[in-house]
A and B are shown apart, each in its own frame.
Chain A
């Protein structure tokens, strides 16, 4: 690279999305960066400023509310795209499909016959004592066996270039609006760069989601009324709720807009109550129905679980999916893939040592300085020990906890996330990235050919979360080029 990227230096020992994937992998991926390379840094900055002002005007923001007043904050957007060559995407797509199939089979099993538990694939107490296990869903059978209608699978890639699953998000994954909006921004500011490149479109998401949701409607409903249930304008993902409701053309409702009468869900309209058949809820289980879960919830709809059980309404994602995307169960996912599908996992897990198993515990104790030790179950981010950064006293405390209750812990190696060229104050520098593809499942699964690439804007940081100064990039998934004949027939068309 002679121009824009001339001074870009990828870190040794780290996989670089430009150097090691795009430039090494076919003409189209290379062309993306060769075109960008022709821009000057000043021009790139000018276009970045333009994109940022568009975001600001559009109010594409995270909403952070203090006591007195609303503050809208823009999710930082990096204009240098992340490019995924067609061959790599084929692996990702097959891998996340396999993952979602397994999650759905596992949930059907957990709330059904319990085979995986009976056969000891997953310890039964891990499931039944899990705070996200919803006993009231026992015996529930969603249409098409789809418990997880919308899934976001967090992927990272290590130094060898293989994609690994870091986390399954099977509850209410967010971020898809940024995938589509980031593309719009790029199309407005980088149309010249993108022209004729086989970048797969992401604009189809709303239609696909609406279709899948309609497919989950209760039997006999011909023209399902779908609504999107949001906690409201104070929710940090409200912008996304708006986006999805608009894309699908469905009402964006809050708990107070819905009412349950005779085990049916209705929406309050200017002409009285109107029936609702499918609820795409962006409200967590705990807050969904004060009758069934937290009685103090004001966000939910009293009685909606009754309606669900009476079969008059569908709720997506299903209640109780949190037991499947839990850290504890995550460790067992490769075994579950083999158990249910008789296949090898296409996308491996990050190597995980399940400390309840003696062998794994011994390994963990011996390699404490190199590992990340995480609690399983309810505690969330609390209690993580990063061996490479912990003090001697912290390591000893960790060791004591492991020995006292090994079943509450897992251990993983520290992953050196891959990096991508990113525009920062002092030029274009490598920054770490992850990838969240989205899978929509009704009768069958569809994978959005794109995904949310989050980028850690701080140098050396491995944390890509937006709350930790993370930003996002447009993700260009490339299509296989058509044979030359058809290209000649439709010049300039993006396949």
Chain B
């Protein structure tokens, strides 16, 4: 058997990442509906744009400002917005197209049908009132993809690269979900940390991460911000936590090194271990004690995850130097949110 083509490793990595990204964006949009509404019922969709650092781009295309419908269309079905779910799925599909010889027909067919379904949505179908149903459909589509992948992908190196892509993206997105909460709350001067409204937002974050039940098993009572943050960041038993996903990254790198003799995986592993130490109890205590500590930590984690992705590209995907955007466009279809 031939060794895995470098381009295919890159494509499996990005295929998994893009699907994971689409799922998480659906989760953020869903919870944002809650954030966007303050207690007086006025909506502020600008927060969603801020979290994704898309405000400038959005306003350039929509001078009338961030209305609910405009923002939802921007993130769900805008073909010109590279961070829309439609574009995520299109990028996933184009990576899958390159991988057709490697992946199962079922995996390809599902993604093809799923993409066509989203691509066929009209503007009228993405209004606020349909958001919950739409997000549920998108989440289900992404989860089905992951399920078919788990059930049909051959467990060779490609499998590891897919796991790496999904885990890095998921860890990154969990930090963004946390940020979403922090930003949304900071925007409201009338609400105190620890207030009823604050608890309400934290609960929404947990629900968006499908973590409310799990959190309750861990903490039967109370909803301390500190507990929620620690749970999302450090609880390695929670599948969307940063710690759990860094654990997957480490395990897959170890597998590539041991089973497939890819010694350079060890170099990447060092960076992963460095990042993991940020989540240890004592450094975390210090972080929480600072005013914007949590936001800074989220930032540091995002930067670290981005660096891991670049490490992988340089060592396994055939990048010879830190890539310029133009050079990256020539490779497989990808953008990085890091």
Q: Which residues of A contact B (CB under 8 A)?
A: 56-59, 68-70, 225, 233, 238, 242, 245-246, 250-254, 256-257, 267-271, 274
Contact = CB atoms under 8 A, between A and B. Distances in A.
Nearest to B116: A56
Instruction: Report the interface size class on chain B.
Output: 20 to 34
B109 A59 contact: yes
B109 A270 contact: no
Interface in B81-140: 94, 97-98, 100-101, 105, 108-109, 112-113, 116
Contacts of A58: 105, 108-109, 112
Given A57-B109, A57-B113, A270-B262, A254 B7 contact: yes
Given A57-B109, A69-B79, A269 B5 contact: yes
Interface in B6-35: 6-9
A242 B101 contact: yes
B9 A267 contact: no
B101 A268 contact: no
Nearest to A54: B109
A70 B97 CA distance: 12
B200 interface: no
Contact of B101 (A251, A269, A270): A251
Nearest to A69: B79
B261 to A, nearest CB: 7
5 contacts: A270-B317, A271-B4, A271-B260, A271-B261, A274-B3
B322 interface: no
A269 B112 contact: no
Contacts of B3: 269-271, 274
Contacts of B108: 58-59
Interface in B235-272: 260-262
A270 B10 CA distance: 9
B6 A270 contact: yes
Contact of B9 (A68, A225, A254, A270): A270
Contacts of A238: 97
| Interface of A: prevailing SS | mixed
Interface of B: 2-9, 79, 94, 97-98, 100-101, 105, 108-109, 112-113, 116, 157, 161, 260-262, 316-318
A182 to B, nearest CB: 16
Q: Which 4 interchain pairs have the tightest Cβ spacing?
A: A269-B3, A242-B100, A245-B101, A270-B316
Nearest to B318: A268
A233 B101 contact: no
Contacts of A69: 79
B135 to A, nearest CB: 24
A251 B5 contact: yes
Nearest to A68: B79
A233 B97 CA distance: 7
Contacts of B112: 57-59
B82 to A, nearest CB: 13
A273 to B, nearest CB: 9
A257 B101 contact: no
A59 B116 CA distance: 10
Contacts of B2: 225, 250-251, 267, 269, 274
Contacts of A253: 5
A73 to B, nearest CB: 13
A268 B5 contact: yes
A210 to B, nearest CB: 13
A225 B3 CA distance: 11
Given A57-B113, A58-B105, A257 B100 contact: no
Nearest to B333: A233
A419 B260 CA distance: 57
B322 to A, nearest CB: 19
A367 to B, nearest CB: 50
B61 to A, nearest CB: 16
Contacts of B97: 59, 233, 238, 242
Contacts of B260: 270-271
B105 A268 contact: no
Contacts of A70: 94
A306 B108 CA distance: 38
A56 B316 CA distance: 34
A246 B103 CA distance: 9
B37 to A, nearest CB: 35
Given A57-B109, A57-B112, A251-B101, A269 B79 contact: no
B86 to A, nearest CB: 11
A353 B161 CA distance: 61
A59 B108 CA distance: 8
A132 B318 CA distance: 35
Contact of A246 (B6, B101, B317, B318): B101
Contacts of B100: 242, 246, 252
Given A58-B105, A233-B97, A257 B6 contact: yes
Contacts of B113: 57
A257 B195 CA distance: 58
Contacts of A225: 2
A319 to B, nearest CB: 24
B102 to A, nearest CB: 8
A209 to B, nearest CB: 14
B55 to A, nearest CB: 25
Contacts of B316: 270
Given A59-B109, A238-B97, A270-B5, 10 more contacts: A57-B109, A58-B105, A59-B108, A252-B100, A252-B101, A254-B7, A257-B5, A268-B6, A271-B262, A274-B2
A233 B95 CA distance: 10
A180 to B, nearest CB: 13
Nearest to A248: B101
Chain A CB within 10 Å, residue with most, of B79, B112, B161, B261: B112
Given A58-B112, A233-B94, A267 B5 contact: yes
Nearest to B113: A57
Contacts of A56: 116
A396 to B, nearest CB: 51
B53 to A, nearest CB: 25
Contact of B7 (A57, A68, A257): A257
Contacts of B317: 270
Nearest to B265: A270
